[in-house]
Amino acid sequence: MNAQCFMCRRTFTTDRTDAIFCDASCKASYHRAHGASGKHVPLEKLKSKMCEHCGRLFWFNEYADRGGKRSPTYCGATCRKQAWVIKQRAHWEAQREAERNSRSWDYYRQQERAQSAPPPPPPPKQNTTREYDNFRDRLVIPRRWTETDALIWIFGDANQRTLEFINKQCRELNKKYHPDSNGGQTYKHLPTINAAWSHLKAIYKK
């Protein structure tokens, strides 16, 4: 808001309703010449206003306008909440109407934003596994490894194999599921397969 300085009569911009000096030098000059009286314009502590939601008359303190604070618009917190709910409902209804009506302005704005938006990133590369590899999803990691558990985790059955065949199969699994061969993705069961492999090597080398 604009106000006129009592000392130099210049117009200045301020956010206080009781400001009468444009700066501290004019304020000091005025007080040296006229004394300390007239520092502030007396304001009414109570003013009346109509609530924008319910239309009732309410009273408020005019000094709350100081410090850049806005004067109250609603008579209480209940009217403020109800007015906010009404505005939100109107906003949602406008959005739904824009989606239903293809000739509305909001519809064209949404289409323009959708066309100007960057394309979505490509989906991450999925780990291609064969059907017989899915049996590990149903297995439970044992607390203590046994020969049967290790064979089931590697081959899917408990039939015994030679250590040479086990080493060959485990090397193929590590080569297949290594992150360098899978686009940076690691097979979630690969650490368990390696633990079963280590247990079988320790058993067969005895």
> 3-state SS string over the chain?
CEEECCCCCCEEECCCCCCCCCCHHHHHHHHHHHCCCCCCCCCCCCEEEECCCCCCEEEECHHHHHHHCCCCCCCCHHHHHHHHHHHHHHHHHHHHHHHHCCCCHHHHHHHHHHHHCCCCCCCCCCCCCCHHHHHHHHCCCCCCCCHHHHHHHHHCCCCCCCHHHHHHHHHHHHHHHCHHHCCCCCCCCHHHHHHHHHHHHHHHCC
Q: Cα–Cα distance between 135 and 15 in angstroms, integer?
A: 73
Which pLDDT score is estimated for 124?
65
Per residue in 101-146, pLDDT (tens digit) is 666 676 777 778 878 877 777 776 655 444 445 788 888 888 898 9
**Orientation angle between helical segments 163-177 and 190-204, nearest 10 degrees:** 160
Per residue in 61-115, pLDDT (tens digit) is 766 555 445 678 888 889 989 999 999 999 888 877 777 766 667 677 777 887 8
* Rg, C-alpha atoms of the chain: 39
Contact, 98 vs 107, CB < 8 A? Answer: yes
Q: Is the pLDDT of residue 177 over 60?
A: yes
Higher pLDDT, 196 or 101: 196
Q: How confident is the model at residue 203 (pLDDT cuts 50, 70, 90)?
A: confident
Q: Is the dihedral of CA 107, 111, 116, 118 positive or negative?
A: positive
Per residue in 20-53, pLDDT (tens digit) is 888 888 888 887 777 655 455 555 667 788 898 8
Which pLDDT score is estimated for 104?
66
Q: Is the pLDDT of residue 172 over 70?
A: yes
Q: Is the pLDDT of residue 187 over 50?
A: yes
Domain boundaries of the chain, sorted by first residue: 1-41, 43-75, 79-116, 131-204
pTM: 0.36
CB atoms within 10 A of CB 133: 16
In whole angstroms, what separates CA 193 from the centre of its chain? 39
CB atoms within 10 A of CB 206: 5
- Among left, alpha and beta (phi > 0; psi -120 to 50; other), residue 203 is alpha
